[in-house]
């Protein structure tokens, strides 16, 4: 019982018994409440400041092509040191390696070969998972929205990170802000191929005769691709624009199914990547006419370039490499890069890539980021020039 008031003290207020403070209980309570509010306000401000930075980093909506051009530095800053300390072991469980295209294609084959090497060095299973659809956007988006811990990665490609941001009107991710580049794996020329029976029936023996036939029969030829936004799609649209011809685009759900359709006579021609087409050309199931790069390929030096076949300036190739979600810790990015870079020096993996017509081409995370930015600028111009768009 309080001697001055005859009442019990408030359970939230200290019971002072000495000095002048005891002579004014109401004032004492008011002062203590003001102090408590001040302390609470300061604590809230500190918490708000602590969480403001990461929340702001996530505020910008992904998927706009303008943001890719406006923020190129994001592709060259692959990781944050603050996510987890470098002493945290990695990996701690099986790694999910997403391939955003169907099984059986060259990108899928390369990913599985790389995964085998990673598994040996990292001591954890590396599980390849095919998530095809929307020109690679579905699989890439899955990784973009995964936890930034290095446990989920994607074998991205020229389509997912350089073409689609300008080809698709709506993107589910931002190719720069939502990813951390890890390493470029390989570069592959594309090659213009036809079904031999179709070429013979139409008396097409060169790029020049193909263009002449298409001009005489506008809209009657069609070309297959691995999907909207693939390098084969853009190569076809650029070919049409430069040659002044009309052809119908037939998109498939991946390069593998598109090639099978061409071999089966369902389509007329295709701008396939050399990694996939090389075995079929050697076996006589496809006829190669020209490569799409500015220089001839070491694997088929007898094939001219499209540029030297009457369309100067024609230059399109396929590349693929590994990306992690944005804000993956820098030590994890470095570990992944080093493991894959060592794998690419192995005779076994080098031999596999070369038999597919792929050139091993590793880049550091920073250099890979700069390369992606340059490719985006290139394909932004190509998409604009061809008016190719996917709704």
Q: Are 165 and 159 in contact (CB under 8 A)?
A: no
pLDDT of residue 373: 97
pLDDT of residue 16: 36
pLDDT of residue 106: 81
Q: How many CA atoms lie within 13 A of 264 on its CB side?
A: 8
Q: Are 106 and 274 in contact (CB under 8 A)?
A: no
pLDDT of residue 75: 37
Burial class of residue 243 in the structure, from the number of CB atoms within 10 Å of its CB (0-12 exposed, 13-18 middle, 19+ buried):
buried
pLDDT of residue 171: 96
pTM for this structure? 0.67
pLDDT of residue 67: 33
Crossing angle (nearest 10°) for helices 330-343 and 365-386: 80
Q: Is 135 left (phi over 0), alpha (psi -120 to 50) or beta?
A: left
CB atoms within 10 A of CB 284: 8
Query: How far is it, in rounded angstroms, from Cα 160 to Cα 173?
Result: 10
Query: How far is it, in rounded angstroms, from Cα 176 to Cα 65?
Result: 10
Q: Which of 201, 356, 198, 192 is nearest to 264 (CA)?
A: 198
Structural domains in the chain? 77-185+326-356+364-386 (3.40.190.150), 190-309 (3.40.190.10)
pLDDT of residue 148: 97
CA dihedral 388, 378, 75, 323 (to 10 degrees): 60
pLDDT of residue 28: 57
Q: What is the pLDDT along the chain (391 residues), one digit of tens a residue?
A: 443 334 333 443 333 334 444 445 555 545 555 665 554 454 444 444 443 433 333 333 334 333 333 333 333 334 444 344 445 589 999 999 999 999 988 889 999 999 999 999 999 999 999 999 988 999 999 999 999 999 999 999 999 999 999 999 999 999 999 999 999 999 888 999 999 999 999 999 999 999 999 999 999 999 999 887 778 888 999 999 999 999 999 999 888 899 999 999 999 999 998 878 988 999 999 999 999 988 898 888 999 999 999 999 898 888 999 999 999 999 999 999 999 999 999 999 998 888 877 889 999 999 999 999 999 998 998 898 877 788 7
Query: How far is it, in rounded angstroms, from Cα 290 to Cα 307?
Result: 9
pLDDT of residue 64: 38
DSSP H helices, 58-105, are: 65-70
């Amino acid at each position: 019982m309080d001697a001055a008031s005859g009442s019990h003290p408030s359970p939230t207020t200290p019971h002072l018994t000495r000095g002048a403070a005891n002579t004014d209980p109401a004032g004492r309570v008011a002062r203590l409440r003001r102090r408590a509010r001040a302390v609470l306000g300061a604590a809230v401000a500190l918490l708000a400041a602590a969480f403001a930075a990461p929340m702001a980093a996530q505020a910008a909506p992904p998927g706009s092509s303008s943001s890719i051009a406006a923020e190129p530095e994001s592709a060259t800053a692959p990781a944050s040191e603050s996510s987890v300390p470098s002493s945290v072991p990695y990996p701690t469980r099986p790694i999910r390696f997403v391939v955003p295209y169907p099984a059986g294609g060259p990108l899928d084959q390369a990913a599985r070969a790389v995964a085998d090497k990673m598994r040996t060095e990292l001591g954890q299973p590396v599980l390849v998972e095919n998530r095809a659809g929307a020109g690679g956007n579905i699989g890439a988006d899955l990784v973009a929205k995964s936890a930034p811990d290095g446990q989920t990665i994607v074998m991205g490609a020229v389509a997912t990170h350089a073409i689609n941001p300008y080809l698709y009107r709506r993107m589910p991710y931002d190719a720069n802000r939502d990813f951390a580049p890890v390493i470029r794996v390989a570069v592959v020329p594309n090659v213009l191929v036809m079904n031999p029976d179709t070429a013979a029936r139409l008396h097409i023996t060169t790029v020049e005769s193909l263009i002449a036939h298409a001009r005489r029969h506008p809209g009657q030829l069609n070309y297959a691709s691995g999907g909207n936004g693939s390098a084969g799609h853009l190569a076809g649209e650029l070919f049409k624009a430069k040659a002044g011809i009309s052809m119908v685009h037939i998109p498939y759900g991946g390069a593998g199914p598109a090639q099978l359709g061409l071999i089966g006579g369902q389509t007329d021609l295709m701008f396939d990547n050399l990694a996939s087409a090389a075995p079929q050309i050697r076996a006589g199931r496809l006829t190669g006419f020209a490569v799409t790069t500015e220089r001839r390929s070491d694997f088929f030096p007898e094939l001219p370039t499209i540029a030297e076949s009457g369309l100067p300036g024609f230059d399109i190739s396929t590349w693929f490499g590994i990306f992690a979600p944005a804000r993956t810790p820098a030590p994890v990015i470095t570990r992944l890069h080093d493991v894959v870079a060592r794998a690419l020096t192995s005779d076994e993996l080098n031999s596999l890539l070369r038999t597919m017509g792929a050139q091993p081409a590793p880049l550091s995370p920073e250099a890979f980021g700069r390369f992606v930015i340059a490719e985006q600028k290139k394909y932004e111009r190509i998409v604009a020039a061809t008016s190719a768009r996917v709704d």
